[in-house]
Chain A
């Protein structure tokens, strides 16, 4: 990396909020990082015109004056990649918030410069290559145990290849110590535990591959009805108060990804604090280790500078790509992409660009596509399988899904979890609407489910059919009331109610119910649909619906989700047997009476 300070004086000529214009910038590059003013505020070149450059500044520009000096760094905005990322919390430009806190207290002062990773900490390095090996980009040099959950693989950076001249012996090294030396076509090259990568550029892969496995989230409505594949992209749109953030938190907690990158982009400070305080306490259901040991947080809250909000999404996805390149399944949660789009709009307006729909820049769809396309299931440079799943929350103004961000996002995602304010008002959580949501991954992952529950597809379709019919019947009920409907139709209403209360709603705060294993999901659904099938038969046979409604097992079925935990599948089996014998008794009563 060539580092700067040419004598040509680059100075500020104009300041308008986060946008600064400077002269003396003829040699600057697009997206180059610069330090603005005496305080050295971080900024990025976003437009070049002759000798002048337009710079977006990541920090507050209050009291900056024309004539203030600008220092160029000669390199684009890059993130540090190496051991120590996991469990950390960063702002939008990868400054560690605990580090900032140690220097400036509870408030984020301007111009704080803190290294993204601790360069004095020593990591135990286990080499995996030996001198004389021929290695190419992405090859694993060795490993570092970053946390109990994450073994951090040290890879040859993209674009580098050669023969290993020497490699460090097993031992403790800092991020800056040389751990290997390579003979490359361009001469010898020293490698360290640390790499840097520009955030706006996707890291290279060998090829994209098909998505075949679901990202199991432990949330019934998602896993059973609208599953997301590992490497898939999903959007959660919803007006305020519909539970976007709680749903995102639930997914970040219980998804079976190897690593979680959670980007709090323009949202509430307290929500990030909640994650920060809660995740170290919660245990991963698979390994029993604290969830924080597989989580990286990016927090650029709504009151932090807007330019850093714009870049926070790229910072997050670059960190995710780095771990994907190590052959991991990474899940990225971005809350909320609307705030990011608004940051684009605000910056674009200050650059006096011509606006498109609702003031958003015309590049909005391209930018959204670029972001979501950085997800996917891939073969990495070293030939491993890795994936990035992206879940983006969308906050449409007034809860109206026809606005530009929701509409354009829909073009680039394949899984749509529509949150509904009526459901939220009735405290039906998660308020994902079963008729307005969809997943295009159902076919891709059917095989995976088929191996675990052969009847998954069947149960799913049948349940959705019941819910769909209920919606139509509700239209009639609104006009004439339920009592005039025949029992066979009222059974649908009754069953849909059981499905909603006993399956679709899931409490994020109930110890037993917050995570529901795929097996338990199927057990509960199977039981409810058996009740439906046998109930239909009974009504055919002439039994009144009331008799069915009064069976003692009904209350227990509705509460089964919170009465029996993931390891109590047998109890659900027992309940189903009970239900069947109660239904048998009822059937006997009406045997031969029906038409």
Chain B
């Protein structure tokens, strides 16, 4: 790792000494021909190299953000060399199966990737006129997602979790099971870890290994002990890699980013060090734009068959969904999967909260021609009924379950079945969409027909089978599927 150097020709002058060192920032004066966002090589007294980036430049001075920390740097002895370009990542499809650090340097013992194709990791915005609207349903095999919050190819759907909740297991299960209904095209996976612990990274690597996808994974690991500034580059490296695989090589890429909260904290750290005016909870005012520059790098474009589907995992500090990180994320992403501590404590796996979870693109990827005709109405009815369950439970806490009306008692029963049978499933249980939908109907049959106002008479006729104890009926006829 030490002998790895960016393949950049020596460029320009070397400056000796700096004016000021403040946290991760070094201020170099009397510079010439330096650009904004330019990459800087910094040598300390011992001749060790670190990298930095120019944040702000004027005709007198440059503010350089040091990526690997400023420990041991001294105003008098440090030497800087401006490398004449912004941060670039060499990309090639041979990087599949490799492991890199947060700045794109190999850490698996292999050689640095040979590629003349070096991309600016900031990417460029996709022209909305050139986007292809995401429509293809991805079956994850998890009922709570497929049935109620379906994921489509090219979507950005984050997982909102809390410390101690099984977000890693849920996302690993999604990676294992995700596939399209018609095709058997496999996903390539780009995994970006920001500030997570070694064992979490190990967990994912083991999982990739077990499910035999390791050869299709590119990993960028900036673990908890790496300098925090590095994390700002990690997701950008990962997404640059993903864009190459998706739009140049035509692959379907699933980008897994964990944990976005750590990323935002690094951003806050830099903002504070620069003396910026903070916004909510000390996060910089541009947090929204910054997050958008990552999340918006998902999707499909007209001129390529590939796609980027994004799943970012973030832990909500003290389970607070109105905290700036989940809040701003929710405003950018196309829905969210929220994990619920209450369900988790009642050992429901996956503990995907029924109501606050949402997939905005579901409407375009389910129903006739995509999954099954009854899917949208069924999901809507399940949501409505489960919302009622929540109200009834609140009431039951006050008056006692025995005092509830007849209908409300049925709702209690429905709620129990919904959580224990529909939401709850095995970590290795892969349910087909038909199984999921049939299960949904089965559970709805616990309620009388008059309660199911969001389902049309025709759908009720075809699927609704009121059974006293909710015993499953044999498989119903398949709906016609248009491809």
The residues of A with any CB-CB pair to B shorter than 8 Å are 13-17, 21, 60-67, 89, 97-98, 100-101, 104-110, 239-241, 264, 266, 268-270, 272-274, 276-277, 299, 301-304, 306, 339, 342-343, 345-346, 349, 355, 358-359, 395, 397-400, 425-428, 477-483, 501, 509, 555, 558-559, 562
On whether the beta carbons of B453 and A558 are closer than 8 Å, the reply is yes
Task: Assess the B127–A346 pair: CB atoms within 8 A.
Answer: no
B335 contact from A89, A241, A266, A269, Cβ within 8 A? A241
Closest 7 CB pairs of A and B: A398-B322, A302-B292, A426-B387, A14-B58, A240-B330, A303-B296, A97-B129
Instruction: Please tell me which one of the listed residues A98, A107, A339 contacts residue B124 in the complex, with CB atoms under 8 A apart.
Output: A107
Question: In the docked arrangement, what's the CA distance between A209 and B292, Å?
Answer: 42
A-B contact count (CB 8 A): 220
Instruction: Give per-residue flags for B404-448: 1 if the beta carbon is below 8 A from chain A beta carbons, else 0.
Output: 110010000000000000000000000000000000000000000
Contact with A along B37-81 (1 / 0, CB 8 A): 110000000000000000111110000000000000000000000
Rounded to whole Å, the gap between the CB of A64 and the closest CB of chain B is: 5
Query: Can you list 28 contacts pairing A with B, beta carbon distance less than 8 Å?
Result: A14-B59, A21-B58, A62-B37, A62-B122, A63-B38, A65-B34, A65-B57, A97-B129, A100-B129, A110-B124, A240-B331, A269-B125, A273-B129, A273-B133, A276-B129, A342-B289, A345-B279, A345-B285, A346-B289, A395-B331, A426-B384, A427-B380, A477-B395, A480-B398, A480-B399, A555-B450, A559-B456, A562-B456
List A contacts of B131 (CB < 8 A): 106, 269-270, 272-273
Nearest chain A CB to B199's CB is how many angstroms away? 32
Looking at the complex, which one of A64, A241, A272 makes contact with B358 (CB distance below 8 Å)?
A: A241
B129 contacts A481, C-beta separation under 8 Å:
no
CB–CB B128/A269 < 8 A? yes
Question: Once the chains bind, are B280 and A16 in contact (CB under 8 Å)?
Answer: no
A268 proximity list for chain B (CB < 8 A): 296, 332, 334
A264–B125 Cα gap in the complex (Å)? 15
Q: Does B6 contact A (CB under 8 A)?
A: no
Contact flag A101-B120 (CB < 8 Å), given A61-B36, A302-B289, A359-B278: no
Bound-state Cα–Cα, A400 to B280, Å: 13
Other-chain contact of B296, A15, A105, A302, A558 (Cβ < 8 Å): A302
Collect the chain A residues with CB atoms within 8 Å of residue B322's CB.
397-400
Q: How many angstroms between the C-alpha atoms of A61 and B450 in the bound complex?
A: 61
Beta-carbon nearest neighbor of B335 in chain A: A241
Residues of B within 8 A of A301 (CB): 125, 128, 292, 296
Are A106 and B405 in contact, with the CB atoms below 8 A?
Answer: no
User: Known contacts being A270-B361, A509-B376, is A107 close to B127, with CB within 8 Å?
Assistant: yes
Q: Chain B nearest CB: distance from A523 CB in Å?
A: 19
- Pair A397/B126 contact, Cβ less than 8 Å: no
Question: Smallest CB–CB gap between B482 and chain A, Å?
Answer: 18
Whether a CB of chain A sits under 8 angstroms from the CB of B108 is: no
Q: Is B327 an interface residue (CB 8 A)?
A: yes
B203 near A: Cβ within 8 Å? no
B4 to chain A, nearest CB (A): 24
Chain B contact residues: helix, strand, loop or mixed:
mixed
Distance between A292 CB and nearest chain B CB, rounded to angstroms: 13
B171 within 8 A of A: no
A427 engages B384 (CB within 8 Å): yes
A346 touches B398 (CB 8 A): no
Contacts A241-B330, A342-B288 supplied; 12 other A-B pairs, CB < 8 Å: A15-B58, A62-B120, A63-B36, A66-B59, A98-B129, A105-B130, A107-B124, A269-B128, A349-B276, A349-B285, A398-B323, A398-B327
Query: A107 touching B125 by the CB < 8 A rule?
Result: yes
Q: Is the CB of A425 within 8 A of B356?
A: yes
Interface residues of B in 92-141 (CB under 8 A from A): 120, 122-134
- Give the contacting residue for B405; candidates A66, A109, A343, A483; CB below 8 A: A483
Which residues in A have their C-beta under 8 angstroms from that of B457? Answer: 559
Contact residues in A for B126 (Cβ distance below 8 Å): 106-108, 269, 303
Which chain A residue has the least Cβ–Cβ distance from B381? A427
* Residue-wise interface mask of B (331-347) relative to A, using a CB-CB cutoff of 8 A (1 in contact, 0 not): 11011100000000000
Contact for B57 among A15, A100, A272, A481, CB less than 8 A? A15
Residues from chain B with a CB closer than 8 A to the CB of A105 are 127, 130, 303
How many chain B residues touch A (CB < 8 A): the figure is 83
Contact A14 B57 (CB under 8 A): yes
Q: Given known contacts A269-B131, A481-B403, is B332 in contact with A106 (CB within 8 Å)?
A: no
Chain A hits for B128, CB < 8 A: 89, 97, 264, 269, 272-273, 276, 299, 301
Q: Is B301 an interface residue (CB 8 A)?
A: yes
Q: Are B56 and A15 touching (Cβ within 8 A)?
A: yes
Cβ A65 vs Cβ B35 within 8 A? yes
Minimum CB distance partner of A99 in chain B: B129
Q: Chain B residues near A266: list those with CB within 8 A.
A: 288-289, 292
| Chain B 441-483 interface 0/1 with A at a Cβ cutoff of 8 Å (1 = within) | 0000000001001001100000000000000000000000000
Give the residues in chain B near A480, CB-CB below 8 Å. Answer: 398-399
Q: How far is the CA of A557 from the CA of B15 in the complex (A)?
A: 80
From B33, B355, B456, A426 is in contact (CB under 8 Å) with: B355
> B351-372 interface mask toward A, CB cutoff 8 Å, 1 = contact, 0 = none?
0000110101101100000000
B19 at the interface (CB under 8 A from A): no
A302 touches B399 (CB 8 A): no
Assess the B58–A13 pair: CB atoms within 8 A: yes
Q: Which of B124, B280, B403 contacts A109 (CB 8 A)?
A: B124
Asked whether, in the complex, the Cβ of A15 is within 8 Å of the Cβ of B288, the reply is no
| Distance A107 CA – B130 CA, assembled complex (angstroms) | 8
Restricting to B284-308, which residues have a CB under 8 Å from any CB of A?
Answer: 285-286, 288-289, 292-293, 296-297, 299, 301-304
Cβ 8 A contact of B277, one of A63, A65, A349, A559: A349
